Chain A
Amino acid sequence: MAGKKPIRSESLMTRAAAHLRLADPVSDEPSADPDQLLTRVGRGDEQAFAALYDLLGASVYGLARRVVRDPARAEEISQEVFIQVWRSAARFDTSRGSARGWVLTLAHRRAVDAVRHDQAATNRENRYDWSSGPAFDQVEETVSTTLEHEQVRRCLDGLTELQREAVNLAYYNGHTYAEVAEVLDTNPATIKTRIRDGLVRLRDCMGVPA
């Protein structure tokens, strides 16, 4: 990275910066964790922002894509999320949660809001040919490459069918639990319970601390 920088005459400054870098193991480490990067983003550090994007961009985009389906819309949402991260980074309190969790929560909310907003705004008179897009199962396959996905899938497989359906429809399709109840023809109170049971089971299966 340093090789691309234009040559400057302030060698003293450069040496001072190099010294600081040694003293501060966080700065410019490609493996820096999102919490540390976000703190730096809050101070206006554009390099930290780029590094944070490199760490979380695929998760944000993939999640948005799963929820809204449309790649252009998913890209738009990813952009909004990262601009929001840039703007609000200084207000993020690392004692209240992880930067990763915060960014992905923002992304999920944006994606779900987009789906619901579109539902309210449009009611087009189209006929939809289902065979024109990839089937549900195929969408699953294209993203099943990572180890992470394998573990999540294994844990999802460990749920009861109703728990799994409820979690999938709510989280990945952006349905409210009341809508999930309608799709699954089940009492809304039952769906709330199944979502909770399902999440607790997933948490334990994934080894997330309670």
Chain B
Amino acid sequence: MSTDVHSLLAPYVLDALDPEERNQFEAHLEQCPDCRTELGGLQATATRLAESQSQAPPAELRQRLLTAIGTTPQERPVVTAMSQRGGLRRRLPQLVAAAALVLAAAGGTGYFVEHNRADEQHDQNVAIRAVLGAPDADTKALNLPNGGTVRLITSESRDSAVVVARELPALDEGKVYQVWLIKKSAAESQGTFSRSGEMVMKDLADVDQVAVTVEPSGGSKKPTTAPVVDVPV
């Protein structure tokens, strides 16, 4: 295991380790000056990935923060800098609680509608991760003749499946890919996408197939073209 720990460096930079591996790698990092050197350059790279997503925050956040810090005590400097990260992580629950209080005090703001919509996306991400993490997750992959891949990950225990579409051929303007659950005699729309994306589907009891067709933007009530993808469940 210890010979392999160095391979955790790059995933560590992207926060792509589970907590156990993260601890393992951080312990290793304390004794590995070479790792710290390499880490610096890769972390700076991740910082650039972060900055490229820059987006103006809601204006009221600034004032709320300036009010909050007025009553938030500061920690004193410490000499042992390497322990900083672990220390911060241990203090997080308190910070979360403090922030929640501040938010509650600040009251509701004007993003209600957008919030609902994004909530669904967020929930969907959560549901996708639940299927991927299921012990009985089973993957079927399909390479399309004109490029792109579609994967279907099914979990019987969760009665759910995830479709992952990647880089499907670009469509003419006004066309989208639409995903369907094909049951005995009906096709249920699961949503549309342009070229790539993931979606989760539930209640698979009497589903025979998952199919993808090309439809006009906004999607159709029923499939109107022959499926480009057709996977038995």
Contacts and interface: CB of A to CB of B under 8 A. Distances in A.
Contacts of A122: 123, 126
B205 interface: no
Interface residues on A, range: 35 or more
Contact of B54 (A44, A148, A153): A148
B164 A183 contact: yes
Contacts of B146: none
Given A143-B52, A170-B16, A183-B132, A69 B99 contact: no
A208 B44 contact: yes
Interface in A144-184: 146, 148-149, 151-153, 161, 165, 167, 170-180, 182-183
A115 B91 CA distance: 19
B23 interface: no
Q: Is the interface of A mostly helix, strand, loop or mixed?
A: helix
B202 interface: yes
B122 A128 contact: no
B24 interface: no
Nearest to A194: B10
Given A84-B88, A98-B44, A176-B17, A79 B103 contact: yes
B73 to A, nearest CB: 7
B120 A199 contact: no
A200 B194 CA distance: 30
B49 A202 contact: yes
Nearest to A193: B7
B72 A88 contact: no
Interface stretch (A2-10, A12-20, A99-107): A99-107
B196 interface: yes
Interface string B49-75: 111111111100110111011101111
Given A165-B166, A195-B14, A153 B52 contact: yes
B40 interface: yes
A69 B44 contact: no
Contacts of A63: 50-51, 53
Interface string A67-89: 01111110110111011101111
Contacts of B46: 104-105, 108, 171, 199
A112 B127 contact: no
Contact of A112 (B15, B64, B151, B193): B15
Interface string B32-45: 00000010111111
B15 A84 contact: no
B84 A71 contact: no
8 contacts: A62-B53, A70-B119, A83-B65, A130-B197, A130-B199, A133-B124, A161-B167, A195-B10
Interface of A: 42, 44, 46, 49-50, 53-54, 57-63, 65-66, 68-73, 75-76, 78-80, 82-84, 86-93, 96-98, 100-101, 104-109, 112-113, 115-116, 118-119, 122-133, 135-138, 142-143, 146, 148-149, 151-153, 161, 165, 167, 170-180, 182-183, 185, 189, 192-193, 195-196, 199-200, 202-203, 206, 208-210
